[in-house]
Amino acid sequence: MNSTEITTPSLDVIDELDWCGLKYLAVRLALEMDIFTTIAAGCCTFEEIAEAIRASERGVRILLDILCPLGLLRKAQGAYSLTPTSEAFLVRGKPTYCADAYLVIWRDRDMLMQAVRTGTATLDIPGPEAEEMWASYAAADLLTWSQSAVSAHERWMQLGITKDTKPGWLVLDAACGSGVGSFVLAQADPNTRVIAFDFAKVLAIAAQVAEMMGVHDQVNFHPGNLLTDEFPEMQFDVVLFGAILYYFKPEDVIAILRRAHHTLKSDGLVVIRGLIADEERCQNEMALVGALELLHDAPHGEMYTFSEYKVFLEKAGFTDVRQSSELLIRAKK
């Protein structure tokens, strides 16, 4: 920039954040007031909905209207109806209902100032008490697994892990969630086997997803806590960690990776998929927003950089540590 040039300050960023905040609040209010479940039960005018949830007609009308351009409601001749998204994910009682997972996090954000001031989380979502929340979050893939499978397949291709490079992979999917990330390997190769490791209620969702993907017979479901329970005593070709390791403090990450190292074959790989902070922690917006999320919902959470993961992996005994993309790290035993 020329020394004579002047950058004019702008409120655009602040105004955009304010607008986004209002949209977030609208959705949160609708969930907390059970708007979508009420409409699914047959109430379709703002008067009927207001009466059902015991709220003012004016307030409910304004809230319902903003949910329309957000893609969560439709409106025609004064009657409101659900969109495919809200009907699938936001109606209590549906098998793919996952709003509770978001509400747990959103409600806790009210305590974010306390977390910033004290450095102490007000939730512990890596812990077993959050099992229901993780099951709720995984439930969305009962409907969306085919979209998730496309990106998962692309990640394995990027890593060179296919049935052509080595048929018959034995994969440990640690903290598997819905399992789509590893089940795509089983889909591609009938000789591939997956051990899905997670909380029992999460595995119940993963088992349904495996059935939908046609790989249930290739998957064994092993309930456990990533932090405290041992992995199955098998020799795996690949150990996959999804978006999970950043919930733990460094010594716990190293301990988990050592257990992965122990259970891998001599030429095995560990794969870490998740947000990775840039080295200066000032550029990767998603990772840095994620770090703020971790501050209040994970007592020891941190968005680690590639260099930090490299140290953890090498201390655990791994070699040839590489960052394959902004979301992928792999290392050899």
Q: What confidence tens digit (pLDDT) does each residue in 55-70 have?
A: 999 999 999 999 999 9
Q: Would the pLDDT of 263 be above 80?
A: yes
Q: Which amino acid is at 78?
A: G
Give every CB contact of residue 50 below 8 A, 6+ residues apart in sequence. 56, 57, 59, 60, 61
Using the structure block, give the residue that is written with the tokens 């996952």: 98
Sign of CA dihedral 22, 24, 27, 28: negative
CA distance 278 to 313: 18
Residue 276: the pLDDT is 97
For β-strands 79-82 and 264-273, DSSP reports them as unpaired
Q: Would the pLDDT of 2 be above 80?
A: no
Helix, strand or coil, per DSSP, at residue 267: strand
Q: What's the rounded mean pLDDT across residues 237-242?
A: 97
Q: What's the rounded mean pLDDT across residues 100-105?
A: 94
Q: Would the pLDDT of 306 be above 70?
A: yes
Quickly state the pLDDT bin for 163 (edges 50, 70, 90). confident
Alpha carbon 307 to chain centroid distance?
23
Residue 167: the pLDDT is 87
CA distance 216 to 214: 6
Q: What's the rounded mean pLDDT across residues 37-50?
A: 98
Q: What is the DSSP letter of 305?
A: B
Q: Could you give the percent of the chain with pLDDT greater than 90?
A: 94
Q: Would the pLDDT of 5 be above 70?
A: no
Q: Could you give the percent of the chain with pLDDT greater than 70?
A: 98
Residue 1: the pLDDT is 47
The 3 state secondary structure assigned to 10-38 is: CCHHHHHHHHHHHHHHHHHHHHHCCHHHH
Residue 52: the pLDDT is 98
8 A C-beta contact, residue 272 and residue 329:
yes
Say which range, 6-15, 98-107, 126-135, 228-237, has the weakest mean pLDDT: 6-15
Residue 326: the pLDDT is 87
8 A C-beta contact, residue 195 and residue 234:
yes
CA dihedral 51, 57, 63, 64 (to 10 degrees): 70
User: In 10 A of CB 201, how many CB atoms?
Assistant: 15
CA dihedral 70, 74, 80, 84 (to 10 degrees): -90
Helix (H) or strand (E) holding 304: none
Q: What's the rounded mean pLDDT across residues 2-8?
A: 67
Q: Would the pLDDT of 7 be above 90?
A: no
Domains and CATH numbers, the chain: 9-92 (1.10.10.10), 130-332 (3.40.50.150)
Q: Phi, psi at residue 253, to the nearest 5°?
A: -60, -45
Q: What's the rounded mean pLDDT across residues 243-254?
A: 97
Q: Would the pLDDT of 6 be above 80?
A: no
Alpha carbon 229 to chain centroid distance?
22
Q: What's the rounded mean pLDDT across residues 129-134?
A: 95
CA distance 231 to 220: 13
Name the region of 75 (left: φ>0; alpha: ψ -120 to 50; beta: rest). Answer: beta
- Count helices and strands (H / E) in the chain: 14, 9
